[in-house]
Amino acid sequence: MRTRTLGSQALEVSALGLGCMGMSQSFGPRPPRDEMITFLRAAVDRGVTLFDTAEVYGPFHNEELVGEALAPVRDEVVIATKFGFAFDPDGHQTGVSSRPDDIRGAVEGSLSRLGIDTIDLLYQHRVDPGVPIEDVAGTVKELIEAGKVRHFGMSEAGVDNIRRAHAVQPVTALQSEYSLYWREPEDQILPVLAELGIGFVPFSPLGRGVLTGQVTAGTEFGEGDIRAHLPRFEADALRANLALVDLVQKVAERKGVTVGQVALAWLLAQQPWIVPIPGTRRITGLEENLGAAEVELGPDDLAELDSASRSVQVLGDRYPEAMQRMIDR
């Protein structure tokens, strides 16, 4: 597996990371823990070094899973986790919170669940409009100075907050959705990241499965699958959105690879500091995704994909209204 460097803070990771959320929530029943531990260790064996988790995934279950699985190879991997949500006494997520005391408490909890001494990359999961971003960045700076965190990241943050946070504590990476299916970050976010020397970690780089070519207009999303409640996956919207897959398929067939590999290779071709984190729970899916790092797209391929992406208007919001309001733009 080739490596890439995130930001001017020089965090070296595998060219493709692994999003771990689906091992605990959002995509149907939770798989057996022992199977996921085996899977995570298999990812390490195949060269993956960046593993993405968060306290809210589960909640809490995902960090425990990732920590246990990666304990034998702790020095070989980069573990990224996130703070920024509030929880009630029963562990249910109740909203955002990035108050300094809550950040410190979240970090202590994450360190304990992960079984590590230092978090390699700590993201603010969502911007908290009730807390000045300077206070957030300053708190993370203190945690870095204390040796509990190595790198500061932000997730779904807008330009103003990125700039203000970076002035207090350099931001190593921003995490937001980005793919052939969703190109909003190109307008304002990517130019600022290039200017400031911040790496970019796209989540949902396969459009929550749409760009794998395995989702059809007739696909039914079962109990516990978040896609059953996302506007983009409503019947009419999904039918229209799948037109993009048909166009990407033409490039995939010409290259002798899969639609998903083309989609990931396109992302990798955008900037050398972009590191996608596709999620999967299957070895076959993992190996397919990692194979994208070897797919070479020439100028004509990239121009065709760019044209295809711009010709299809993606219908439906990314999230239901309440979740959409948590995105800082």
- Give pLDDT tens digits along the chain (329 positions): 999 999 999 999 999 999 999 999 999 999 999 999 999 999 999 999 999 999 999 999 999 999 999 999 999 999 999 999 999 999 999 999 999 999 999 999 999 999 999 999 999 999 999 999 999 999 999 999 999 999 999 999 999 999 999 999 999 999 999 999 999 999 999 999 999 999 999 999 999 999 999 999 999 999 999 999 999 999 999 999 999 999 999 999 999 999 999 999 999 999 999 999 999 999 999 999 999 999 999 999 999 999 999 999 999 999 998 899 899 87
What integer pLDDT is reported at residue 329 of this predicted model? 75
Q: At what angle do helices 159-168 and 133-145 cross, to 10 degrees?
A: 40
Kindly list the distances between the CA atom of residue 203 and the CA atoms of 17, 154, 161, 179, in Å, as whole numbers in the listed order: 10, 13, 20, 9
Cβ-based neighbour number of residue 237 at 10 Å? 16
Looking only at the bridges linking them, the beta strands covering 119-124 and 93-96 are unpaired
- Is 123 tagged catalytic? no
What integer pLDDT is reported at residue 48 of this predicted model? 98
What integer pLDDT is reported at residue 101 of this predicted model? 98
What is the set of domains in the chain, with CATH numbers?
3-206+270-295 (3.20.20.100)
Compute CA 155 distance to the chain's CA centroid, rounded to the nearest angstrom.
Answer: 9
Question: Taking the C-alpha atoms of 238, 243, 247 and 253 in order, what is their torsion angle to the nearest 10 degrees?
Answer: 60
Which residues does residue 186 pair with via DSSP β-bridges, in sequence order? none
pTM (2 d.p.): 0.97
Task: Exactly one of 57, 123, 178, 181 is catalytic; name it.
Answer: 57
